[in-house]
Amino acid sequence: MTVKEAITRADHDRRNDISETEKVGFLSELDLKIKNAILDRYEGEPVAFSPYDVNEDATLLVPEPYTDLYLYWLQSKAALLDDDIDQYNAWNTLFQQAYDLFFRHYNATHTRKNSGNFRF
């Protein structure tokens, strides 16, 4: 999924007054968190990441079929900015479930980096 696809799909589900620049920033924030919390902790090629630019249509880090987490993330941010705590909680719960599903898949299919020979 690309940045523009995520924004378009999220806007289709919930109209909002958030600028595209702000939404791109939300997606950058999430992918940086995913890179730091998940991708960088496993063996393989290092993942290069720089914040997304509103004028580019970059591919997001999480692959199909786990990309719904981006939609839920944007929806939860929109609800939070609208001060709609009930909707925020609902979208954030869906986001957390999708994030956990992606993490479990990634953990099962990749090898964690060795953290050294630390022993007590």
Residue 43 CA to residue 113 CA, distance in Å, equals 5
DSSP 8-state code for residue 111: P
As for how many domains the chain has, the answer is 1
Does 25 fall in a domain?
yes
Ordered DSSP codes for 22-54: HHHHHHHHHHHHHHHHTGGGBSSSPPP-----T
pTM score above 0.95 = no
Segment 25-43, tens digit of pLDDT:
999 999 999 999 999 999 9
Does 115 fall in a domain?
no
The pLDDT value recorded for residue 4 is 96
The residue range of the domain holding 77 is 3-109
Instruction: Using alpha carbons, select from 58, 10, 66 the residue that is nearest to residue 38.
Output: 66
Does 47 fall in a domain?
yes
What band does 21 get if pLDDT is binned at 50, 70 and 90? very high
Residue 35 CA to residue 61 CA, distance in Å, equals 8
Does 63 fall in a domain?
yes
Does 114 fall in a domain?
no
Segment 34-75, tens digit of pLDDT:
999 999 999 988 888 999 999 989 999 999 999 999 999 999
